[in-house]
Amino acid sequence: MLAIVAPGQGAQTPGFLTPWLELPTFATRLAWLSTVAGIDLVHYGTEADAETIRDTAIAQPLLVAAGMLAALELFPSPADGFRRTGVAAGHSVGEITAAGAAGVLSGEQAMVFVRERGLGMAEAAALTPTTMAAVVRGDADEVLAAIEAAGCVAANNNGAGQLVAAGTVEQIANLAAHQPKGARVVPLSVAGAFHTHHMQPGQDRLARLAPAISTHDPRVPLLSNANGDAVASGRDYLKRLVGQITSPVRWDLCMETMIQMGVTGLLELPPAGTLTGIAKRNMPGVEVFALNAPDQLAEARSFVERHSDTEAHHNRSANVAWMMATSPAKGELAISEGAGVDADVPSGAVIGTVTNTLGDHEIVAQHGGRILEWLVESDDIVRPGQPVARLYPRTESL
Catalytic residues: 92, 195
166, 210, 300, 364, 371 from 340: Cα distances, Å: 46, 34, 44, 14, 7
Count of CB atoms within 10 A of residue 259's CB? 17
| Three-class secondary structure of residue 294 per DSSP | helix
User: 205-214: long-range contacts (C-beta < 8 A, 24 or more apart)?
Assistant: 205/116, 205/117, 205/119, 205/120, 205/123, 206/113, 206/116, 206/117, 206/120, 206/241, 206/242, 206/245, 207/242, 209/113, 209/116, 210/238, 210/239, 210/241, 210/242, 213/105, 213/109, 213/113, 213/238, 214/109
User: Which of 236, 234, 288 is closest to 7 using CA atoms?
Assistant: 288
Give CA–CA dist 228/95, Å, rounded: 12
CB 321 within 8 A of CB 392: yes
Is the alpha carbon torsion for 139, 145, 146, 151 positive or negative? positive
